[in-house]
């Protein structure tokens, strides 16, 4: 066996030893870790995925976030993928269906535009000093610092996805020319005297080819419309124009399957500046047709999220942090939020003042 093959096998064995040790929780001292890195040389190695940290990343749920409900995740087979866009005209142009006793039925062909796209890697790191890990292990009852780091990083990744989704769904450019309206003055639903939100919504939804089955409202929008006297009267009856309707009551009034309210907050200030809080979902309202069975090749839906693989969590030793080094904890996912049929949604911009 020549020297090149010998060195190659040594690198492979060293890779298995170092990554396996990290995966099973053994924390090397800096000297040992650096020796392992020296053996590995410059050979590339994947970021080690840790089952325990992956479980934390996948299981994480933030009740305030609604992106997964509004733009459901759909698996794609590779990072680069294609999805179909269907022309609406075909569904509105029925051909002649009459057939003679020995005639041949008319033949139709459904066309679709294949649109190429690709998921985008979204990941964050946090470093946990070895001293913190050893300290936690020496004192039963202390939380695992790597698990805490994975939770914190996952929360930020989820929040960033929420921001991307809100920016897409609450953008006028995401809707067809006839499927959006900018409200102002007396038409805004915060004007309890002059506005009629239920009438305004129902009139617009009745013009759509496929009626929306979900609604997405910013928290400020929902708070105003839920207390609107005309809405309360429609829901409660008996001339009761005061109070506050529930999400379920408003959804039923509008014949919707679900009504989602964006509760999340985000800091819009530049790094290092005083915190400036803002709602992730603004003072708008969107009514969307969501098809949970749609995928990139079949089915029509307002939008979805292409996801390649699953969210993962992992850690590896980093000898360049502190005196003893640290475990670099990483959580990531590969996704892309898409609007696939902009005529299947209606957008009320600036719904409330």
Q: Report how far residue 137's alpha carbon sits from residue 159's, in angstroms, rounded to the nearest whole number.
A: 31
Q: State if pTM tops 0.75.
A: yes
In which residue ranges of the chain is pLDDT below 50?
1-45
- Beta-strand (E) ranges in 165-241? 180-182, 214-218
Q: Report how far residue 155's alpha carbon sits from residue 162's, in angstroms, rounded to the nearest whole number.
A: 11
Of 300, 67, 283, 75, nearest in space to 168 by CA: 67
Question: What angle is formed at CA 131 by the lines to CA 125 and CA 133, rounded to 5 degrees?
Answer: 65
Of 158, 174, 168, nearest in space to 66 by CA: 158
Architecture of domain 48-91+110-349: Alpha-Beta Complex (3.90)
Q: Report how far residue 29's alpha carbon sits from residue 41's, in angstroms, rounded to the nearest whole number.
A: 19
DSSP 19-71: HHHHHTT----HHHHHHHHHHHTT---PPPBPHHHHHHHHH---TT--HHHHS
The CA dihedral of 173, 175, 181, 184, to the nearest 10 degrees, is -40
Tell me the domain boundaries of the chain. 1-46, 48-91+110-349
Maximum alpha-carbon separation in the chain: 92
Tracing tokens 């990072």 back to the chain, one arrives at 79
Give the per-residue pLDDT at 142.
86
Q: For the segment 9-43, what is each residue's pLDDT rounded down to a tens digit? A: 333 333 333 333 333 343 344 333 333 333 333 33
Give the per-residue pLDDT at 60.
62
Map residue 6 onto helix, strand or coil: helix
Of 321, 323, 290, 198, nearest in space to 249 by CA: 198
Q: Report how far residue 334's alpha carbon sits from residue 325's, in angstroms, rounded to the nearest whole number.
A: 29
Beginning with the edge strand found earlier in the chain, give each strand of the sheet holding 326-339 in spatial order: 73-76, 303-318, 326-339, 120-129
Where residue 14 falls (left for φ over 0; alpha for ψ -120 to 50; beta otherwise) is: alpha
Map residue 172 onto helix, strand or coil: helix
Q: Report how far residue 322's alpha carbon sits from residue 316's, in angstroms, rounded to the nearest whole number.
A: 15
DSSP 115-153: EEEE-EEEEEEEEEEHHHHHHHHHSTTSPPHHHHHHHHH
Q: Report how far residue 250's alpha carbon sits from residue 258's, in angstroms, rounded to the nearest whole number.
A: 10
Q: Report how far residue 265's alpha carbon sits from residue 285's, in angstroms, rounded to the nearest whole number.
A: 17
Beginning with the edge strand found earlier in the chain, give each strand of the sheet holding 180-182 in spatial order: 180-182, 345-349, 285-288, 214-218, 258-262
338: β partners:
304
């Amino acid at each position: 066996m020549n020297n090149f093959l010998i060195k190659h096998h040594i690198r492979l064995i060293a890779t298995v030893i170092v990554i396996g040790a990290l995966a099973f929780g053994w924390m090397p001292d800096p000297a040992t870790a650096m020796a392992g890195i020296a053996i590995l040389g410059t050979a590339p190695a994947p970021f080690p995925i840790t089952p325990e940290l992956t479980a934390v990343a996948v299981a994480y749920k933030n009740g305030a976030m609604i992106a997964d409900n509004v733009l459901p995740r759909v698996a794609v087979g590779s990072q680069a993928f294609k999805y179909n866009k269907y022309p609406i005209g075909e569904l509105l142009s029925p051909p002649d269906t009459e057939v003679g006793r020995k005639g041949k039925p008319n033949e139709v062909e459904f066309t679709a535009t294949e649109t190429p796209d690709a998921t985008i890697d979204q990941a964050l790191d946090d470093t946990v000093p070895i001293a913190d890990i050893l300290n936690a292990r020496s004192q039963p009852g202390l939380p695992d610092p790597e698990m805490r780091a994975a939770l914190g990083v996952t929360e930020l990744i989820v929040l960033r996805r929420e921001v991307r989704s809100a920016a897409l769904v609450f953008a006028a450019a995401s809707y067809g020319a006839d499927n959006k309206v900018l409200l102002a003055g007396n038409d805004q639903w915060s004007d309890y005297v002059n506005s009629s939100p239920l009438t305004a919504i129902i009139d617009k939804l009745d013009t759509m080819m496929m009626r929306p089955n979900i609604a997405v409202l910013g928290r400020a929008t929902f708070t105003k419309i839920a207390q609107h006297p005309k809405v309360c009267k429609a829901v409660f009856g008996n001339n009761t124009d005061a109070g506050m309707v529930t999400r379920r009551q408003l959804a039923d009034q509008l014949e919707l399957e679900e009504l989602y309210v964006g509760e999340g907050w985000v800091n819009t200030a530049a790094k290092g500046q005083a915190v400036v809080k803002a709602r992730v979902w603004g003072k708008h309202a969107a009514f969307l047709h969501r098809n949970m069975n749609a995928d990139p090749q079949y089915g029509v839906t307002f939008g979805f999220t292409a996801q390649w693989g699953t969210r993962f969590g992992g850690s590896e030793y980093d000898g360049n942090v502190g005196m003893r080094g640290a475990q670099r904890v990483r959580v990531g996912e590969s996704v892309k939020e898409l609007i696939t049929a902009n005529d299947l949604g209606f957008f009320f911009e600036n719904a409330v003042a």
